[in-house]
Amino acid sequence: MGKWKICCAISAVLFIIIAVVLVTLFFTLFKPKNPKIITRSVTLEGFNLVVFPVIKGNVSLGLVLTVDNPNYGSFKYKNSTAYINYRGNLVAEAPIHNDSIPARAKHNISTTVIIFADKLAADPNFFNDLLSGVLNFTSSTTLYGKAKVFNILKLKASSKSSCNISVLVLAQSVDTVCKAKTRL
């Protein structure tokens, strides 16, 4: 009977030690970290604007973003859409096709955004911004999917990103700054 108590006590102590180690690892090493979104290339593929007699045209932006996943788990996301706003008004959408971002790796995402000038022209500040040579946009994207940790744990996750995009009209170039946040 005494050996049985010693065996149970040792097993309980080992179980507690393993549980403490796993909880510590989960809250330190395996804690979800925000991905870094790096704009590799935003190219002005086309800029076509007709002002007279009726405003029409478009701005085509080719986007290549690199997502740096610092987590120990991969992230597989579903089809989504990036929304582009000009002064708070939705002016364009860009499809993002489902894919997977490997654990502790970098992954490129590319898409094309076509911004229609008639939606831009509806804003009373558009012509002043156009004459100043800079059009400022914001984009927002939410990717929903599943994160896998060591192919054992599968958790629902979402990654939200927002970018400030400045189109320099005369130079025909683009400057961007992006931020991202991940939720499990």
**129-144 mean pLDDT:** 88
Helix/strand/coil (H, E, C) string of the chain? CHHHHHHHHHHHHHHHHHHHHHHHHHHCCCCCCCCEEEEEEEEEEEEEEECCCCCEEEEEEEEEEEEEECCCEEEEECCEEEEEEECCEEEEEEEECCEEECCCEEEEEEEEEEEEHHHHHCCCCHHHHHHHCEEEEEEEEEEEEEEEECCCEEEEEEEEEEEEEEEECCCCEEEEEEEEEEEC
What per-residue confidence (pLDDT) applies to 39?
66
Q: 124 Cβ partners below 8 Å, 6+ apart?
A: none
**102-124 mean pLDDT:** 83
Residue pair 2/9 in contact (Cβ under 8 Å)? The answer is: no
> Is a pLDDT exceeding 70 seen at residue 10?
yes
What per-residue confidence (pLDDT) applies to 1?
59
What does the mean pLDDT of the chain come to? 82
> Is a pLDDT exceeding 80 seen at residue 9?
yes
What per-residue confidence (pLDDT) applies to 55?
67
**53-77 mean pLDDT:** 78
Cα separation, 30 vs 23, in Å, equals 10
> Is a pLDDT exceeding 90 seen at residue 18?
yes
> Is a pLDDT exceeding 80 seen at residue 125?
yes
Task: Output 14 or 118, whichever has higher pLDDT.
Answer: 14
162-182, pLDDT tens digit by residue?
888 888 888 877 787 888 777
Cα separation, 161 vs 106, in Å, equals 16
